[in-house]
Amino acid sequence: MTFGEQPAYLRVAGDLRQKIVDGQLPPHTRLPSQARIRQEYGVSDTVALEARKVLMAEGLVEGRSGSGTYVRERPVPRRISRSGYRPTGGATPFRQEQADGEGRGTWESSSEQSEASVAVAERLGIEPGERVMCTRYLYREGGEAMMLSTSWEPLAVTGRTPVMLPEEGPVGGMGVVERMRAIDVIVDNVTEEVGARPGLAEELLVLGGVPGHVVLVVQRTFYASGRPVETADVVIPADRYRVAYHLPVK
């Protein structure tokens, strides 16, 4: 194969992809059968099968047991706001959006004490096995699961204080900055790293999607005078949402 040439299965997948994008194969239409692809493109059964696998991995089609392969409905991506922390406000960006607009968002959470894993300990600057408060969130929009978040806070900072449980107490649910301020810990910096990976089976079970669907992962850490006081992983379906950042110009 010379430079610039594509394998046959990618050429077939590319042509079928274009037909899906152009509307020649609209949502819920049955994808041409393996035999039809073989005849139309003059390729082998193996090439036809691999082309279909590519489209499935891209989330453009889905298999239906005993029925065939069909074009999936293509969702229009919606926006999720990431605004860093709000030094003068209390609510998190998601909750502020619901209050400011016509949001139909809801959320549920659960917290439990656990031991920091090696990865979490590194992010928090503590020793593996140290006690942390782990809080898991599920956010919904109009009843549809839209985002997962798991946060960890070192109990060396929040333990035996009114903010130990993020969603309870006098400033429960007010966001990391306000909660930490209530115990005289001043958050002055936040970092976010955005990456993408295939969703885990348990994530896709909650968020919807098929194995192989890509999720965006926002790895966020809040700092107070250089000390990490909270870190979190935010997981978002990449095919349904875009992450929008609103950053102040100094």
Here the CATH number for the domain that contains residue 65 is: 1.10.10.10
Query: How high does pLDDT run on average in the chain?
Result: 87
Residues 165 and 55 in one domain: no
Residues 140 and 173 in one domain: yes
pLDDT at 89 over 60: no
Residues 132 and 231 in one domain: yes
Element spanning 145, H or E: strand 144-154
Residues 56 and 114 in one domain: no
Q: Is 177 helix (H, G, I), strand (E, B) or coil?
A: helix
**Residue range 1-56, pLDDT digits in tens:** 444 578 999 999 999 999 998 999 999 999 999 899 999 999 999 999 999 999 98
This prediction has a pTM of 0.74
If one counts the domains in the chain, the total is: 2
Average pLDDT over residues 49-75: 87
Cβ-contact 139, 169 below 8 angstroms: no
Residues 139 and 63 in one domain: no
Write down the pLDDT at residue 2. 44
pLDDT at 131 over 90: yes
Residue 179, domain member (yes or no): yes
- Could you tell me the maximum CA-CA distance found in the chain, to the nearest angstrom? 72
Residue 107, domain member (yes or no): yes
CA distance 128 to 130: 6
Residue 1, domain member (yes or no): no
Residues 209 and 98 in one domain: yes
Helices (H) and strands (E) in the chain, counts: 8, 10
Count CB neighbours of 154 within 10 A. 22
> Which residue among 71, 98, 114 closes a domain?
71
pLDDT at 76 over 90: no
Write down the pLDDT at residue 248. 74
Residues 84 and 65 in one domain: no
User: Domain containing 180: what range?
Assistant: 78-245
Write down the pLDDT at residue 250. 64
pLDDT-derived band at 212, boundaries 50, 70, 90: confident
pLDDT at 154 over 50: yes
Lowest-confidence region among 96-105, 163-172, 192-201: 96-105
Average pLDDT over residues 57-66: 84
Residues 36 and 83 in one domain: no
CA distance 3 to 5: 6
Residues 208 and 131 in one domain: yes
Write down the pLDDT at residue 103. 52
Write down the pLDDT at residue 91. 52
pLDDT at 196 over 70: yes
Average pLDDT over residues 58-62: 85
Count CB neighbours of 135 within 10 A. 19
Write down the pLDDT at residue 98. 45
